[in-house]
Chains A and B, each alone.
Chain A
Amino acid sequence: MKSLKTKLGKIELATPIIMTSGTFGYGIEKINFIDYEKIGAFTTKTITYNPLRGNPQPRIYETEYGMINRIGLQNPGVFYFVKNVLPKIRKKFKNIFVSIAGRNEKEFIEIIKIIKKEKISAIELNLSCPNIEKKQRMFSQDSETTYKIISIIKNETDIPLIAKLSPNVTDIKEIAISAEKAGADIISLINTVKGLSIDLKRMKIIDGGLSGPCIKPVGLKCVYDVYKVVKIPIIGIGGIIEGKDALEYILVGASAIGIGSGLFSNANIINEVYNFLENYLKKNNLMLENIIGYLNEKDWLI
């Protein structure tokens, strides 16, 4: 257990396993077969200022080695969340990361003003949401808007900020550098990859975000590239369905890893990742912190 300890800046995690945003609800549902002790941190489903109903059906579609989702940020809004959800989940998780999204800077700030009074470990900024003031372009699709939104929020709160970035950009390094400069404490990579499926039976298009094992190479590449250019810790996310996937993310630079839709496929994923990493470290007489970024070129040059 000790060997699995990791740090995300000042945040200490007992294990590097993080439940990612959107695939573990609000942490209220009790999933009996999960050992909550093995979860280092839980990230809530994204919260917005006002409640959102989300998108009409279809919202999900299975693809080869993954799935597309277009849930549309269905959530009860920040006031309900703080009053009715947060008190119920505090004891369940050692660390709670609250994922938030706004349609513009003002909305982000409004949420921050409410959430910053709460005792939480970090705020994850879902920067893959469309910015209504920039023709619906995602905040994290532009290094300037990424910089601006993070620096404004940084001025509002001392709670560590996680910038969750979209892989749908020309150069992920540029965005990550902006996020770090603006004061992000942690970077989480990657959000879903834009994708489209066709449901021929219902003659419908499912235009959304792709997740699952098919996006692991994209996630690994982003973590690998970003690790070289930033000093802040990275949470590696995308396509983890078994222990070795988590190890790969750590070896290219992730200080912690996120489990998302992999849980839907492999119900035993948390145990598997935990046991795999523990055995691997034991066998090699290492601590997790020794292997973060080991396979990244940066380390070979030292």
Chain B
Amino acid sequence: MENVICEVIKNENLNKDHLLLEFENNFKEDFYPGNFVHIKIEKCFLRRPFSVARFNKKSIQIIYKVVGKGTEILSQKTKGESIDIIGPLGNSFPIYKNKKICIIGGGTGIAPLIFLSEELKKFNKEIFFFYGSRNRNSIFFSVLPDGIDYIFSTDDGSFGTKGNIFDIFKKFNGFEVIYGSGPEELLKKISKFSKKVPVYLSLENYMACGMGLCYGCVVKIREKDNWEYKRVCKDGPVFRADKIIWR
């Protein structure tokens, strides 16, 4: 965990709804798929957490949607501007090797899955990426790694199959590990598969500290015969699906 100042390399529209922010990688530590950064935004008291979508020695990329004041201000950052970032934060997805792998997600939740799929590619030949989106214009085509089998669905049928990505995923079988990120309703459905195979999900929540100090971002996690509130920022954001107690 470090607090560094990074210069913006680019901050531009990835599609109609989403932006891609690329900044210098001034971190000494490496990032792993699932890790997030906590970005200071002017005029906002709290930082904003973003999953890392792409990482290399020179730069880091995040993908976000303008949903409120914080992301609105962030969207106005231009090349050369400095941003105050804490990272890497949170745990990461365990990387399985030589398995038939399923990655499933939707919307902005796809971001950490891009980083994950890049990593999984190094150790696995069979990777199926189920990608759900509102429409063709909201898919992150330009940043999707090659060498992976993509299965798309859109709500309006403008790309891939029309409908929910989960309904398409259900028709496939034989996966040995499942990784997911995206809307809670989708994750809830995916977690049912954890009885058969390991399922790892990246969760989101409102966060204050991002460092495990304030216990603001907790979710209900099973512990033996009981449950307790675990921190998404520190104990997560990646949790085994069979441990999550959904709202």
Contact = CB atoms under 8 A, between A and B. Distances in A.
B213 A29 contact: yes
Given A53-B228, A67-B208, A24 B215 contact: no
Contacts of B44: 62
B47 A60 contact: no
B216 A29 contact: no
A213 B45 contact: yes
A60 B212 contact: no
Contacts of B228: 53
Nearest to B69: A62
Given A67-B45, A267-B3, A267-B84, A31 B211 contact: yes
Contacts of A71: 214-216
Interface string A260-279: 01011101100000000000
A71 B47 CA distance: 18
Contact of A59 (B3, B47, B215, B234): B215
A263 to B, nearest CB: 7
Contacts, number: 88
B206 A61 contact: yes
A57 interface: yes
A29 B206 contact: no
Contacts of B229: 53-54, 74
B227 to A, nearest CB: 8
B213 A23 contact: yes
A238 interface: no
B82 to A, nearest CB: 13
Interface residues of B, number: 29
Contacts of A31: 1, 211, 213
A143 interface: no
B216 A69 contact: yes
Contact of B234 (A29, A62, A69, A268): A29
Interface in A182-220: 212-213
Nearest to B207: A60
A33 interface: yes
Contacts of B209: 23, 263-264
A31 B2 CA distance: 8
Contacts of B214: 22-23, 25, 60, 69, 71, 261, 264
Nearest to A213: B45
A33 B206 contact: no
Interface residues of A, number: 34
Interface in A225-268: 261, 263-265, 267-268
Interface centre among B205, B228, B229 (most CB of A within 10 A): B229
Given A33-B1, A33-B2, A33-B3, A25 B212 contact: yes
A65 B45 CA distance: 6
Nearest to A22: B214
B120 interface: no
Contacts of B210: 264
A264 B47 CA distance: 7
A58 interface: yes
B208 A69 contact: yes
Given A29-B211, A213-B45, A265 B218 contact: no
Interface of B is mostly: loop
Contact of A268 (B3, B206, B213): B3
Interface in B1-18: 1-3
B45 A74 contact: no
A266 B210 CA distance: 13
Contacts of B213: 23-25, 29, 31, 263-264
A267 B215 CA distance: 18
B85 to A, nearest CB: 9
Nearest to B234: A29
A268 B84 CA distance: 10
Contacts of A63: 45
Contacts of B215: 25, 45, 54, 59, 71, 74
Contact of B45 (A24, A32, A212, A267): A212
A62 B46 contact: yes
A128 to B, nearest CB: 17
Interface centre among B1, B3, B46, B210 (most CB of A within 10 A): B46
Interface centre among B45, B217, B218 (most CB of A within 10 A): B45
Nearest to A34: B3
A172 B84 CA distance: 38
Contacts of A58: 206
Nearest to A268: B3
Interface in A18-75: 22-25, 29-33, 45, 53-54, 57-67, 69, 71, 74
Contacts of B19: none
Interface string A70-82: 0100100000000
| Top 5 A-B residue pairs of the complex, sorted by shortest distance between their CB atoms | A60-B216, A267-B3, A33-B3, A25-B213, A29-B212
Given A60-B208, A60-B214, A264-B214, 16 more contacts: A23-B214, A24-B213, A25-B215, A29-B213, A32-B2, A53-B229, A59-B216, A62-B45, A65-B45, A71-B215, A212-B45, A261-B208, A265-B40, A265-B47, A267-B86, A268-B3
